[in-house]
Amino acid sequence: MSFQRLIGQKDLKIRLKHEYLGDPNHAAIFTGAKGSGRHEFAREYAKALMCSSPTDDGACGKCNNCTYFDAGTHPDLIVLADPNKKTIKVDEVRNKVVSDVKICPQISRRKVYLIEGDELNEAGQNALLKSLEEPPANIIFILICEDSEKLLPTVLSRTVEYKLSSYSKDEIMDALRSKNKEEFDGKYSEDELKFTCEFSSNVLGKALDLLGDEELPSMRDKCFEIITNIGKEGYCATLTDRYSYFDANADNIREILLLMLWIFGDLSILKKDRNNKNITNTDKRDVMLKFLDDNPSVDLNKISKAAGHITTVFKRLDLNVNFLYAVGDMLLGIKKELT
Ligand SMILES: [Zn+2]
């Protein structure tokens, strides 16, 4: 992979190119929210720094350095991360970095330390500081961090920060279209891609993970089935069959609740304007219009109250309220509004 394959971040790519083709700063930090691509950019930058003949587009992908890098066996790339994604031990910092920086690179012209900044506590950062202050030649430190404010000012002042900016809807849709074509032979429709983009709240990494997630479409279908039928069925069915679905999918409860909220959001838009194009579940427009036509008594007020029952469950689950009580109460509340 080269920079060209990474989505967006035009300005960042120009800045990085200037570094790896020129005289790079000895310490960089890549910051950005979850799903922003900070790991991908940090790795691509590390690869370009180590490559024997980097191009305008990053590492060449062909030299020995690139081959070892891709295989994860490059002796001059040192990755520092806690296997449990918690805290890197201070001893690890001392052994893998502080003592190691004195050893010259073996194959590449540079040695790169790729460090999970979020997993460094204060002691770990202090241990790293001396190496950052007096770096031997040909050593580059790359830290990856969700938020640079978690790092000590003394560490930050010795690094150049590269902040990943958020992605536009168009950039995310382009990335989804590419993945759809390359990995799924184009099986997802444009409407499904749009839904995936919306459901990810425009977070690139999340959107790409969601595409191909087998559970999401079936969960969404189930949510539609529940909402369009719950008003017609008996209390017993609601409290046994419907509840059992939530119980069996308790691990995905937040996604399911979110899907239901989005359906109510769309119902509310369509209730006001049948032709509104700004709905999320565009491919389910007919299903929702039929539901509204078949249930004329379901007005905006009732839709809003039904959605309110879902937001209450979010709060209750955060407060560790009993699952059966929280979900059962929600189902009965929604049933009341939609009957
Ligand atoms: Zn190369």
CA of 134 to the centre of ligand 1 (A): 28
Does one domain contain both 232 and 139?
A: no
Does one domain contain both 7 and 110?
A: yes
Residue 176 lies in a domain: no
Residue 97 lies in a domain: yes
Does one domain contain both 272 and 157?
A: no
Q: Decide if 51 contacts 45 (C-beta within 8 A).
A: no
Does one domain contain both 108 and 19?
A: yes
**Domain holding 283: CATH number?**
1.20.272
CA of 299 to the centre of ligand 1 (A): 62
CA of 101 to the centre of ligand 1 (A): 23
CA of 75 to the centre of ligand 1 (A): 15
Does one domain contain both 148 and 232?
A: no
Does one domain contain both 107 and 232?
A: no
CA of 267 to the centre of ligand 1 (A): 53
The residue-averaged pLDDT of 296-317 equals 95
CA of 113 to the centre of ligand 1 (A): 18
CA of 45 to the centre of ligand 1 (A): 12
Does one domain contain both 244 and 98?
A: no
Residue 281 lies in a domain: yes
Q: Which stretch of 15-24, 91-100, 188-197, 198-207 has the lowest confidence by average pLDDT?
A: 198-207
CA dihedral 311, 313, 318, 320 (to 10 degrees): 170
274 token code pair: 């049948």
CA of 143 to the centre of ligand 1 (A): 22
Sheet holding 77-80, edge to edge: 77-80, 111-116, 139-145, 27-31, 160-163
pLDDT surpasses 60 at 146: yes
Does one domain contain both 9 and 135?
A: yes
Alpha helices in the chain (DSSP H): 10-20, 38-50, 64-71, 90-93, 122-133, 153-156, 169-184, 190-199, 204-210, 215-229, 235-237, 243-248, 253-272, 285-294, 300-318, 323-338
Please write the tens of the pLDDT for every residue from 214-243: 888 899 999 999 999 999 999 999 989 999
Does one domain contain both 146 and 225?
A: no
CA of 77 to the centre of ligand 1 (A): 14
Total domains present in the chain: 2
Residue 24 lies in a domain: yes
Domain that holds residue 126: 3-163
Residue 13 lies in a domain: yes
Does one domain contain both 43 and 121?
A: yes
The residue-averaged pLDDT of 244-255 equals 93
Residue 289 lies in a domain: yes
CA of 47 to the centre of ligand 1 (A): 8
Residue 205 lies in a domain: no
Under the banding of pLDDT at 50, 70 and 90, the label for residue 172 is very high
CA dihedral 236, 238, 241, 247 (to 10 degrees): -120
Among 129, 163, 197, the domain-final residue is 163
Q: Collect all residues with Cβ–Cβ distance below 8 Å to 101 and sequence separation of at least 6.
A: 111, 113, 131, 135, 136, 139
Residue 88 lies in a domain: yes
The residue-averaged pLDDT of 304-312 equals 95
CA of 59 to the centre of ligand 1 (A): 5
Place of tokens 């609601």: 238
CA of 88 to the centre of ligand 1 (A): 30
Under the banding of pLDDT at 50, 70 and 90, the label for residue 6 is confident
CA of 109 to the centre of ligand 1 (A): 12
Distance from the Cα of residue 28 to its chain's centroid: 22
CA of 118 to the centre of ligand 1 (A): 29
Does one domain contain both 37 and 130?
A: yes
CA of 235 to the centre of ligand 1 (A): 66
Please write the tens of the pLDDT for every residue from 19-51: 999 999 999 999 998 888 999 999 999 999 999
Mean pLDDT (the chain) is 93
Among 163, 180, 205, the domain-final residue is 163
Q: What percent of the chain has pLDDT over 90?
A: 77
**Domain holding 69: CATH number?**
3.40.50.300
CA of 189 to the centre of ligand 1 (A): 37
CA of 166 to the centre of ligand 1 (A): 29
pLDDT surpasses 70 at 1: no
CA of 60 to the centre of ligand 1 (A): 4
pLDDT surpasses 80 at 2: no
Does one domain contain both 97 and 13?
A: yes
Answering whether pTM is above 0.75, one says: no
pLDDT at 186: 94
pLDDT at 20: 95
CA of 79 to the centre of ligand 1 (A): 19
